[in-house]
């Protein structure tokens, strides 16, 4: 296997709040290889977004405290100076945000916002930058890019804006593109267009993608591997097909069970997971899912945080009582 | 929202924000009236000496305290000087004080607000408490105190007025920066490698300009009024040079015999201040993003 481009080891993020310390990320480890798509899925508040913001050094410290190690091409990112961070943001890693309505500066033209990262990282300005910006807009499927380059964000629709965001992310040819709920705010047809676009661009440009989402449907269509996140920890890591076919963690099973499947022979009522995700200020002892878990033994589960254990070929889960595979 | 671009059809090109704002401004009659007065004032300010029918210090004791007539439209003062000429020439002083003093407040106040609102924490507390101290004095009292230290005179009056209005700009800027710096697009720009200075001046500042522009026009009115008050008190423009406030103060002594000595400079102050206020109100209506979005969404749903 190739050398991973990104190696995250025991990443932890805490926030000092008025109510106490919020433990949002409690030690996650993963690797990302060049050209692959890793999906991180989880409910709202499971720490997905904070986890990737920490990767880019975009959390305000304080109130945040980031610990652990993030190796990008062998370079440790945690503890970098703001100048060193800037050289990585945009060029090494770029990010697309959830809501395209708010992630473009309303008083700057599309062209300005596309050219800015090029000017910052590649020193491309003037006519050359404009040409490249038009190329990028064309690449992300915006028709008549020459006309659109002078437009302001409010003149574009949501789907168009997200395309522009992607173009901005791609401006400096990053190794890693992080899509933080990039399709959540879009309607379903546009969602499909955007996921297809990213997949296509990934193939063409050979970058790695981290796709943060709570939508398992999106995951199935684009990801190579999936990490399931809950309470600031990974519950299960698997190749995408393995995860859908043989979930080993009760939480994954619950998530998959709560997706409506037309034409399936399931009972009509959708499954739900009782209870709420844990409050990061008052994290339960032991497995964070244990208070909601149907398989919890009420003993070990509530005391001991389960280790991530290998359950087969590149499949692992953090559970004391993983679900058995029924053949 | 339709994806018109995706289907290959180009939507008609909407107008730029500046154009839209100007259009809204020109639709406002009071603002247009204010603009007309302002343009006239600026014209008079520039060509005052050439327009004035008499010299500002042309003393003619024989013609003292004469009511308005064909020879002296605004009458003459206690030394027989032509009031019209003095009012016209004083326009330049008032505008100068207004623009320079408010320019000073802008140049000092806006960066303070930007830095305080963007970096927060200690620097925010320090800067804003300093502004609070300035703000806690009644404006004219503070200006008088500053002039007491610096000595009376036009230049010092400008500095004093500028200092007095600095905290307003710092506060308005900071308030808007606090909101804008939390916007996703600022985080997005940061995620692409932009540094603080670039974020502050290229991304945040253009987004907080609207309230600053409105405050500028309104402050111009206040600054001109303050200059008039300071000159009235003898702390601004020194005699024999004319200033509206000073003329008002001198006219007070002759109010019964020669009311025109005070009325005409008073009317000049009133017109100028109202012009700036109307422009300021018009700009606020034109730039207010909330009102704007209401109008826009109405237009869209229709």
CB contact under 8 A, B191 and A94: yes
* Closest Cα in chain B to A95: B191
CB contact under 8 A, A105 and B207: yes
User: Residue A48: pLDDT above 90?
Assistant: no
Predicted pLDDT at B110: 93
CB contact under 8 A, B5 and A156: yes
For chain A, say whether B185 makes contact (Cβ under 8 Å). yes
Query: Residue A258 corresponds to which tokens in the numbers above?
Result: 């709560």
Instruction: Name the minimum distance, in Å, from the CA of B221 to any CA of chain A.
Output: 28
Residue-wise DSSP of A174-200 = -SEEEEESTTTTS-HHHHHHHHHHHHH
Instruction: Name the minimum distance, in Å, from the CA of B205 to any CA of chain A.
Output: 10
User: Residue B2: pLDDT above 60?
Assistant: no
State phi, psi for A21 to the nearest 5 degrees: -85, 125
Closest CA to A36 of A57, A6, A71: A6
List all residues 6 or more positions away from B218 whose beta carbon is below 8 Å from its beta carbon. Answer: B276, B277, B280
Instruction: Name the minimum distance, in Å, from the CA of B218 to any CA of chain A.
Output: 24
pLDDT digits (tens, 9 = 90+) for B185-225: 888 888 888 888 888 888 899 888 888 888 888 888 888 88
Residue-wise DSSP of A82-110 = HHHHHHHBTTTEEEE-S-TTTSS-TTS-H
Asked if A258 contacts A270 with a C-beta cutoff of 8 angstroms, the reply is yes
Query: Residue B66 corresponds to which tokens in the numbers above?
Result: 């004469």
Q: Domain B19-54+78-301 is classified in which CATH homologous superfamily?
A: MetI-like (1.10.3720.10)
The H-or-E segment that residue A233 falls in is strand A233-239
> How far apart, in Å, are the Cα atoms of B127 and each of B114, B115, B162?
11, 9, 17
The full set of domain ranges for chain B reads 19-54+78-301
Task: Walk across the sheet containing A233-239 and list its strands.
Answer: A93-96, A176-180, A208-213, A37-41, A225-230, A233-239, A316-317, A309-310
CB contact under 8 A, A87 and B193: yes
Predicted pLDDT at B3: 42
pLDDT digits (tens, 9 = 90+) for B28-64: 888 899 999 999 989 988 887 888 788 788 888 888 8
CB contact under 8 A, A143 and B3: no
Query: What are the start-end ranges of the H helices in chain A?
Result: 48-55, 82-88, 110-121, 126-139, 145-148, 158-170, 188-205, 216-222, 240-245, 250-257
Closest CA to A132 of A147, A114, A148: A114
State phi, psi for A255 to the nearest 5 degrees: -60, -45
- How far apart are the C-alpha atoms of A176 and A170, rounded to whole Å? 10
- How far apart are the C-alpha atoms of B141 and B136, rounded to whole Å? 11
* A chain contacts of residue B193, beta-carbon cutoff 8 Å: 86-91, 117, 120-121, 172
CB contact under 8 A, A117 and B193: yes
Q: How many residues does chain B have?
A: 302
pLDDT digits (tens, 9 = 90+) for A159-168: 788 888 888 8
- How far apart are the C-alpha atoms of A114 and A37, rounded to whole Å? 24
Cβ contacts from A onto B, under 8 A:
102
């Amino acid at each position: 296997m190739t050398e991973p481009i990104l190696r995250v080891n025991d990443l932890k993020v805490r926030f000092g709040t008025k109510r106490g310390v919020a433990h949002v990320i409690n030690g996650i480890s993963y690797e990302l290889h060049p050209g692959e798509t890793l999906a991180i899925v989880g409910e709202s508040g499971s720490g997905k977004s904070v986890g990737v913001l920490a990767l880019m050094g975009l959390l305000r410290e304080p109130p945040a405290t980031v610990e652990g190690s993030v190796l990008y091409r062998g370079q440790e990112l945690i503890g970098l100076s703001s100048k060193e961070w800037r050289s990585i943001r945009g060029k090494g890693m770029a990010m697309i945000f959830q809501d395209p309505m708010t992630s473009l500066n309303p008083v700057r033209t599309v062209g300005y916002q596309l050219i800015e990262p090029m000017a910052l990282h590649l020193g491309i300005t003037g006519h050359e930058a404009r040409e490249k910006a038009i190329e990028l807009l064309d690449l992300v499927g915006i028709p008549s890019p020459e006309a659109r380059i002078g437009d302001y964000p409010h003149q574009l629709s949501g789907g168009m804006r997200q395309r522009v965001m992607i173009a901005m992310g791609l401006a400096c040819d990053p190794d890693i593109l992080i899509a933080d709920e990039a399709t959540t705010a879009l309607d379903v047809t546009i969602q499909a267009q955007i996921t297809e676009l990213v997949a296509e661009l990934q193939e063409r440009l050979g970058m790695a993608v981290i796709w943060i989402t709570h939508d398992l449907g999106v995951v199935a269509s684009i990801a190579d591997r999936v990490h399931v996140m809950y309470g600031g920890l990974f519950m299960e890591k698997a190749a995408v097909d393995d995860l859908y076919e043989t979930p080993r963690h009760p939480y994954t099973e619950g998530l998959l069970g709560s997706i409506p499947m037309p034409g399936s022979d399931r009972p009509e009522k959708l499954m739900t997971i009782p209870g709420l995700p844990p409050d990061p200020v008052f994290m339960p002892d032991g497995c964070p899912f244990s208070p909601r878990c149907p398989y919890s033994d009420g003993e070990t589960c509530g005391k001991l945080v389960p280790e991530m254990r290998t359950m087969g070929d590149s499949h692992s889960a953090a559970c004391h009582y993983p679900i058995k595979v029924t053949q | 929202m339709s994806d018109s671009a995706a289907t290959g059809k180009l939507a008609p090109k909407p107008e730029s924000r500046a154009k839209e704002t100007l259009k809204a401004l020109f639709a406002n009659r009071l603002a247009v009236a204010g603009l007309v007065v302002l343009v006239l004032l600026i014209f008079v300010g520039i060509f005052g000496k050439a327009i004035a029918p008499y010299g500002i210090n042309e003393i003619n004791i024989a013609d003292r305290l004469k009511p308005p007539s064909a020879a002296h439209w605004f009458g003459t003062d206690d030394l027989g000087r032509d009031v019209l000429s003095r009012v016209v020439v004083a326009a330049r002083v008032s505008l100068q004080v207004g623009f320079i003093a408010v320019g000073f407040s802008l140049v000092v106040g806006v960066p303070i607000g930007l830095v305080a609102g963007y970096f927060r924490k200690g620097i925010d507390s320090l800067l804003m408490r300093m502004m609070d101290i300035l703000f806690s004095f009644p404006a004219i009292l503070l200006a008088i105190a500053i002039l007491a230290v610096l000595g009376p005179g036009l230049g010092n009056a400008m500095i004093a007025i500028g200092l007095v209005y600095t905290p307003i700009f710092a506060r308005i800027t900071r308030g808007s920066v606090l909101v804008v710096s939390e916007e996703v697009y600022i985080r997005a720009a940061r995620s692409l490698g932009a540094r603080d200075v670039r974020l502050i001046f290229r991304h945040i500042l253009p987004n907080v300009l609207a309230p600053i522009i409105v405050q500028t026009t309104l402050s111009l009115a206040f600054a001109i009024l303050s200059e008039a008050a300071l000159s009235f008190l003898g702390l601004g423009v020194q005699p024999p040079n004319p200033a509206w406030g000073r003329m008002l103060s001198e006219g007070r002594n002759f109010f019964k015999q020669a009311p025109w000595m005070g009325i005409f400079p008073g009317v000049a102050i009133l017109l100028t201040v109202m012009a700036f206020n109307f422009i300021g109100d018009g700009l606020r209506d034109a730039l207010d993003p909330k009102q704007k979005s209401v109008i826009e969404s109405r237009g869209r749903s229709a």
